[in-house]
Homo-oligomer: A and B are copies of this chain.
């Protein structure tokens, strides 16, 4: 007699294979669900493996296009960076994967979902908050938090973790070592509309891409070839531990740089300041697993609204791990070469600047007179 049906987020690896078997042992009927978000994987082999391990059904879902459009693009609009450095790769993938998993669970009448994320990490939270938000009655089985499971399998886990965490050089799957990267740059032009890329062109090679998935894939390829987007950081997990993370985000790094540039060119100064604060908030929410929350929803819509005029083309070169902006152009540019030029006065009267400065100084002069500047006695 089955305890019920579980939809398991299955990776094809040893880890979730153990979970699949263990869930069956516990009396559940298991549906294996494998999300394709662009990782390098033999999906058919994974399907066979899941079937051979006793999955009642196997769903292999191609989420690549919706991952780029519904999740990466909003992160680009937000200039999403966690703690000034981390570009949120996995954090953005989790709600995408979880959303489909919940859809499958509802459709298949499964009351349970399960995953292989560990008990000290962020991914368990991102996964589960997504599930609870979109399927409030769901029951979640997190084997790496269940003593009977982890006491039995810990050895194996240790091994896997060991492999991962003691071999950083091998960790990089997408990016070349910058020292081994080509000694000539690639020159690209990326076109934006409403803050998202709509076309990328490799200027010298004449290649161009214009669907979201193709654009992102191509930027990962070019960025990877030139060793762009590797970082080695210490970050603060949501649960309050510091952990070391080694990440590579080649396409994301290019897009962050380029989006910052076209945004600065087309967005009003003060709108940008407000939006910068919202972007930091968005990054924290996504990192912590709150993609599907009212506040993330709200912030995301505000950010999207700010992007209405973020359109134009940016030229850039990619070389030895770096992205260099070469120029930009836009029909919505707020940059007025004449206004800012020394050669042209236009209707700008330099005398106004005197008044502007003196009014700004009213407060400073008063303060000096009345309370003094302690700092000058530093």
Contact = CB atoms under 8 A, between A and B. Distances in A.
A351 B354 CA distance: 10
Contacts of A292: 364, 373, 375-376
Contacts of A364: 129, 132-133, 136, 240, 290, 292-294
A369 to B, nearest CB: 6
The secondary structure that dominates the A interface is helix
A64 interface: no
A355 interface: yes
A359 B369 contact: no
B325 A322 contact: no
Q: Classify chain A's interface size.
A: 35 or more
A312 B368 CA distance: 19
Contacts of A107: none
Interface string A50-79: 000000000000000000001000000001
Contacts of A241: 336, 339-340, 362-363, 366
Contacts of A230: 324
A358 interface: yes
Interface string A338-378: 01111100001111111111111111111111110111101
Given A349-B355, A353-B355, 14 more contacts: A83-B264, A119-B350, A136-B364, A158-B342, A162-B343, A233-B264, A234-B265, A236-B272, A274-B278, A289-B360, A290-B364, A294-B364, A320-B322, A356-B358
Interface of A: 70, 79, 83-85, 99, 118-120, 124-125, 128-129, 132-134, 136, 142, 144-145, 147, 150, 157-158, 161-162, 178-179, 183, 185, 230-237, 239-244, 260-261, 264-265, 268-278, 280-281, 284, 289-290, 292-295, 297-302, 305-306, 309, 319-322, 324-328, 332-336, 339-343, 348-371, 373-376, 378
